[in-house]
Amino acid sequence: MSLKVAVAPFLLSALLLTACGTPQKAAETEEQKEMAIIAKEINKPAQEEKQVATLPEQAEPSVSEDPEVREEPVREIPKISVLMGKSVSEIETVFGKPNLRRKDKPAEVWQYLTSDCALHLIFYPENGEKSGKLTVQHIAMNDRQKAVTADVKACFGSQLRKVGEERAGQLS
């Protein structure tokens, strides 16, 4: 046999294998493309969920748009000096019984506590008389966390919030 006849089956089988191999590679490439598309589709809902979860911000309705919603007027905290000259009964009507009551004749010291501060009201007899009606003649405040004088407005505000607006309104 000639060399051509002996090589021919080998070449023929090589051509067949090569021909079979090319579509397989093409098939793998197509399969990879499909897998990539499927992977994108699988990840796509997660991205959409993020978009659904973050809703666009909406402006809050104003009072005129919603008659049910009414803003409460902010009550201004009166000056602490409103307590000066108040009698024992007037203070007790607003603040109730003190947390601490100390009698040091002729004076009485009443202490009211909130989580923020202590309010000390010092009562002396009116007009300096020993038997006169007790009224607030001195006021002191201290912070409950540190040994410092408390901020007057913040402390008095916390005391008034504690008793409530109705009772605090009796101070005028």
Structural domain boundaries in the chain:
1-54, 80-171
Fold type of domain 80-171: Beta-lactamase Inhibitory Protein; Chain:B, domain 1 (3.30.1450)
pLDDT of residue 46: 47
Highest mean pLDDT among 26-35, 57-66, 114-123, 142-151: 114-123
Highest mean pLDDT among 71-75, 109-113, 161-165: 109-113
Burial class of 158 by CB neighbour count within 10 A (0 to 12, 13 to 18, 19+): buried
Query: What letter represents residue 143's amino acid?
Result: D
**Across residues 137-165, what is the average pLDDT?**
92
Mean pLDDT score across all residues of the chain? 76
Q: What gap in Å lies between CA 66 and CA 59, rounded to an integer?
A: 13
pLDDT bracket for residue 105 (50, 70, 90): confident
pLDDT of residue 169: 86
Q: Which helix (H) or strand (E) holds 156?
A: helix 152-163
- 14 pLDDT more than 80: no
Percent over 70 (pLDDT), the chain: 60
pLDDT of residue 67: 55
pLDDT bracket for residue 33 (50, 70, 90): confident
Residue 106, preceding peptide bond in cis (omega within 30° of 0): yes
List the single range of 32-36, 53-57, 147-151 with lowest mean pLDDT: 53-57
- 91 pLDDT more than 80: yes
